[in-house]
């Protein structure tokens, strides 16, 4: 498959050819254009648009990349090629970088690569790849190019310039971004469709992946678990007072919470458009229009489900507070709010099986139970959210945060196990424990089969 690439940099062409074997890489230098955008994506788009004009009906790509050093406020960043001034001069750039970092302890940095694509129908897509690491005290190695002799990737004690091409490509920012490009463009031996109607079919698999990634499907099943724990607390006390819990309402509340969570995820991508360019809406894998419809559908679906199963006023209050907390969290990124969302999920579950749950069928003791469990949930997720800051730059941290978020399933199962052992009123919920255990196995499998959708 032909891929027109907007660059004249021989090093980049070589790396792209190595990372995308089977593709016919056709370099096309977009001469005379000014790369004056404030970020990598903007510059990559300027370059790719310049060549896409000439190669209509073909796949075109441009990459813009650079080094971002924490202690230098993200510099050299988009100015990496000309850090020491015009014209681009690698030894001068490296010398200036070392000079600017003299005496600096925190030398953490990351390489970023942004690839902008124009597909045969003219649609634009942007993907990012990052490689975290730090800047060495002195240059080492002769491979690669640019800042390679100074950059030591996380988990290594050698610079990029001391690694073989294969080793670098497997972990580099360019390798990671091009992996996403390969998913979007498809396998090289599949001929590229030349009409836009056929073009719509080609990215269907990546598009499904993008939706799975958007809804963080691996974390999604942890949401009904919250509701079930809240409901179990209410059921214990309702049944004790001789009341009849309504299980259909509990299931409705669980489904509505899932929709509210999905709403929060789509909304979060919109709010993070400028900062997290790797997520499916900012990087163009999912169009803004489709995401808007999905966002409306999700909160609409929560309301419809709540109304259809006839949830009680306390549930509506809980769901409204949940909606407000999601909105506030997305806009402020204040970690206690994320914890509160989980606590409110418990409240929604508690409010589902009976009416009115407090004061009528039972006394304050139920509320005490609810308060203790909601506090544990809130604090756990608050702590994980607080810890997760900066995970975008650190794949290892991202993996750990994913595991900790998934870990709430263990909290849910433990709580349900204790309830079913202690209270005969909820012994009927035991099958749910088995369902929960099956779900855990499913989650593990899903994580192995679809690692890319399991991001936290």
Who's near 373: CB < 8 A, 6+ residues apart? 229, 230, 233, 346, 415
Q: How far apart are CB 124 and ligand IMP at their closest, in Å?
A: 18
Rule CB under 6 A: choose which of 3, 5, 9, 48 binds ligand IMP. 9
Rule CB under 6 A: choose which of 60, 81, 337, 354 binds ligand IMP. 81
**Of the candidates 141, 175, 146, the residue with the CA atom closest to the CA atom of residue 161:** 141
Residue 64 catalytic?
yes
Q: How far apart are CB 49 and ligand IMP at their closest, in Å?
A: 16
Three-class DSSP category at 97 = helix
In angstroms, the CA 154 to CA 134 distance is: 7
Who's near 208: CB < 8 A, 6+ residues apart? none
CB 192 within 8 A of CB 2: yes
In angstroms, the CA 114 to CA 174 distance is: 8
Point out the catalytic residue in the list 63, 64, 226, 267. Answer: 64
Of 39 and 327, which has the nearer Cβ to ligand IMP? 39
Q: How far apart are CB 334 and ligand IMP at their closest, in Å?
A: 35
CB 136 within 8 A of CB 67: no
**Number of residues binding to ligand IMP, judged by CB under 6 A:** 17
Who's near 282: CB < 8 A, 6+ residues apart? 126, 269, 272, 273, 274, 276
Crossing angle for the helix pair 364-387 and 222-240, to the nearest 10 degrees: 170
Rule CB under 6 A: choose which of 64, 119, 226, 278 binds ligand IMP. 64
Contact string 137-166 vs ligand IMP (x = CB under 6 A): -------xxxxx-----------x------
Residue reference for tokens 């988990």: 155
Of 80 and 378, which has the nearer Cβ to ligand IMP? 80
Contact string 177-216 vs ligand IMP (x = CB under 6 A): ----------------------------------------
Of 41 and 185, which has the nearer Cβ to ligand IMP? 41
Our finding on whether 65 is near ligand IMP (CB under 6 A) is yes
Our finding on whether 135 is near ligand IMP (CB under 6 A) is no
What are 256's two structure tokens?
Answer: 């509505």
Active site residues: 64
Q: Please report, as ranges, the residues that interact with ligand IMP according to CB under 6 A.
A: 9, 64-67, 80-81, 93, 111, 144-148, 160, 172, 174
């Amino acid at each position: 498959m032909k891929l027109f690439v907007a660059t004249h940099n021989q090093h980049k062409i070589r790396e792209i050819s190595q990372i995308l074997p089977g593709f016919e890489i056709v370099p096309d230098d977009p001469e005379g254009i000014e790369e004056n955008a404030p970020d990598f994506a903007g510059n990559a788009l300027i370059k790719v648009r310049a060549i896409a004009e000439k190669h209509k009906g073909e796949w075109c790509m441009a990459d813009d990349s650079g080094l971002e050093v924490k202690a230098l406020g993200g510099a050299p960043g988009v100015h990496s090629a000309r850090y020491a001034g015009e014209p681009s001069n690698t030894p001068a750039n490296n010398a200036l970088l070392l000079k600017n970092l003299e005496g600096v302890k925190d030398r953490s940095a990351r390489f970023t690569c942004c690839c902008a694509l124009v597909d045969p129908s003219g649609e634009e897509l942007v993907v990012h790849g990052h490689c975290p690491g730090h800047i060495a005290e002195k240059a080492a190695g002769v491979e690669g190019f640019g800042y390679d002799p100074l950059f030591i990737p996380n988990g290594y004690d050698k610079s990029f310039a001391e690694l073989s091409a294969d080793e670098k490509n497997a972990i580099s920012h360019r390798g990671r971004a091009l992996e996403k490009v390969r998913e979007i463009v498809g396998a090289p031996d599949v001929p590229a469709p030349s009409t836009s109607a056929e073009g719509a079919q080609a990215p269907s698999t990546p598009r499904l992946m993008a939706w799975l990634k958007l809804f963080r499907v691996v974390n999604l099943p942890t949401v009904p678990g919250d509701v079930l724990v809240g409901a179990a607390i209410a059921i214990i006390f309702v049944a004790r007072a001789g009341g009849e819990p309504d299980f259909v309402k509990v299931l409705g509340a669980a489904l509505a919470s899932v929709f509210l969570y999905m709403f929060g995820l789509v909304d979060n991508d919109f709010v993070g458009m400028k900062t997290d360019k790797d997520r499916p809406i900012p990087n163009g894998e999912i169009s803004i229009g489709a995401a808007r419809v999905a966002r409306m559908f999700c909160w609409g679906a929560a309301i419809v489900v709540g109304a259809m199963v006839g949830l009680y006023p306390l549930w509506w209050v809980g769901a409204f507070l949940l909606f407000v907390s999601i909105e506030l969290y997305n806009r402020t990124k204040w970690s206690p709010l994320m914890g509160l969302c989980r606590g409110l999920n418990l409240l929604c579950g508690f409010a589902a099986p009976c009416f009115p749950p407090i004061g009528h069928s039972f006394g304050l003791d139920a509320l005490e139970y609810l308060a203790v469990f909601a506090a544990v949930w809130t604090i756990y997720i608050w702590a994980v959210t607080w810890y997760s800051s900066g995970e975008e730059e650190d794949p290892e941290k991202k993996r750990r945060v994913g595991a900790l978020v998934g870990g709430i399933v263990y909290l849910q199962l433990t709580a349900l196990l204790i309830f079913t052992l202690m209270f005969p009123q909820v012994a009927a919920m035991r099958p749910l424990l088995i369902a929960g255990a099956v779900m855990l196995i499913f989650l593990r499998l899903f994580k192995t089969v679809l690692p890319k959708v399991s991001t936290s």
